[in-house]
């Protein structure tokens, strides 16, 4: 009787195993959903920007229509870019949280026995267990710079810079001065989003061991 009780104590609860397995599948589905949403949002922004640039090309034939058109369209595109990048950062955080949840589940799998410990070894897992994350091969800085959100933020900063240059020229500022102001605005927006992305991820995505997470790409 004692042997049977000891054996039952070692064996995981079937209901618990079912719940953990279900949670694992849910987290995998969540990862796929976040990647799909990030791609969709980036596509919407790029399509809106490209369509606006084509329309601006047609409007350029009329000096009376061009400036009002640009003054109307570029702020809307810039605002769309800001909203897109903000949401894409949150999507990246959701993706990271799902990977963290899977890492916790894998740590439970390792406790099922020696074979399970070998099959679900931490060093063979994805982020945050494994230490061979491809996005971090050349450092965390590159990992933050090469995110999908950072890509859209870079393009959006250039849109803002171009709008500032056109507005400066319309106000009578020389080409050198207009370019200087536009480039400075673009660089400032780029740096601002980079800092925001870093802060947001570290705030919302605690890592597997409780320390601030290392960035991974969605």
pTM: 0.79
Q: Number of folded domains in the chain?
A: 1
Examine the pLDDT at 112 and tell me if it is beyond 80: yes
Examine the pLDDT at 206 and tell me if it is beyond 50: yes
Query: Per the domain annotation, does 84 fall within a domain?
Result: yes
Average of per-residue pLDDT across 192-209: 78
Query: Per the domain annotation, does 217 fall within a domain?
Result: no
Cβ pair 165, 181 in contact under 8 A: yes
pLDDT at 99: 87
Compute the distance between CA of residue 22 and CA of residue 151 in angstroms, rounded to an integer. Answer: 34
Query: Per the domain annotation, does 209 fall within a domain?
Result: no
Query: Per the domain annotation, does 58 fall within a domain?
Result: yes
Query: Per the domain annotation, does 215 fall within a domain?
Result: no
In this structure, the number of other CB atoms found within 10 A of the CB of residue 15 comes to 8
Query: Per the domain annotation, does 218 fall within a domain?
Result: no
Cβ pair 31, 99 in contact under 8 A: yes
Examine the pLDDT at 29 and tell me if it is beyond 90: yes
Bond into 128 cis (ω within 30): yes
pLDDT digits (tens, 9 = 90+) for 116-149: 888 888 877 777 777 666 666 777 788 888 889 9
pLDDT digits (tens, 9 = 90+) for 54-91: 988 888 887 777 888 888 899 999 999 999 999 999 99
Cβ pair 182, 162 in contact under 8 A: yes
Query: Per the domain annotation, does 210 fall within a domain?
Result: no
Bond into 110 cis (ω within 30): no
Range of the domain at 122: 2-204
Range 210-213 contact pairs with CB under 8 angstroms and sequence separation of 24 or more: 213/96, 213/100, 213/128
Compute the distance between CA of residue 200 and CA of residue 90 in angstroms, rounded to an integer. Answer: 8
H/E stretch holding 26: helix 14-59
- Token output for 93: 């955080």
Query: Per the domain annotation, does 140 fall within a domain?
Result: yes
């Amino acid at each position: 009787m004692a042997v049977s009780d000891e054996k039952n104590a070692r064996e995981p609860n079937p209901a618990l195993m079912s719940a953990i397995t279900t949670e694992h599948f849910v987290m995998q589905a969540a990862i796929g959903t976040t990647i799909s949403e990030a791609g969709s949002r980036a596509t919407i922004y790029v399509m809106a920007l490209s369509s606006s640039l084509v329309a601006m090309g047609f409007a350029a034939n009329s000096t009376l229509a061009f400036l009002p058109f640009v003054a109307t369209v570029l702020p809307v595109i810039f605002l769309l870019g800001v909203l897109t990048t903000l949401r894409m950062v949150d999507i990246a955080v959701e993706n990271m949280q799902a990977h963290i949840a899977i890492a916790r589940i894998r740590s439970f799998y390792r406790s099922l026995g020696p074979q399970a410990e070998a099959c679900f070894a931490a060093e063979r897992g994805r982020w945050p267990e494994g230490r061979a994350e491809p996005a971090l091969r050349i450092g965390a800085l590159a990992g933050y710079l090469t995110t999908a959100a950072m890509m859209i933020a870079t393009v959006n900063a250039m849109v803002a810079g171009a709008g500032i240059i056109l507005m400066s020229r319309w106000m009578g500022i020389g080409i050198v001065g207009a370019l200087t102001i536009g480039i400075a605005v673009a660089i400032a927006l780029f740096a601002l989003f980079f800092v925001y992305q870093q802060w947001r991820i570290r705030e919302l995505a605690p890592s597997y061991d409780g320390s601030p997470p290392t960035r991974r790409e969605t």
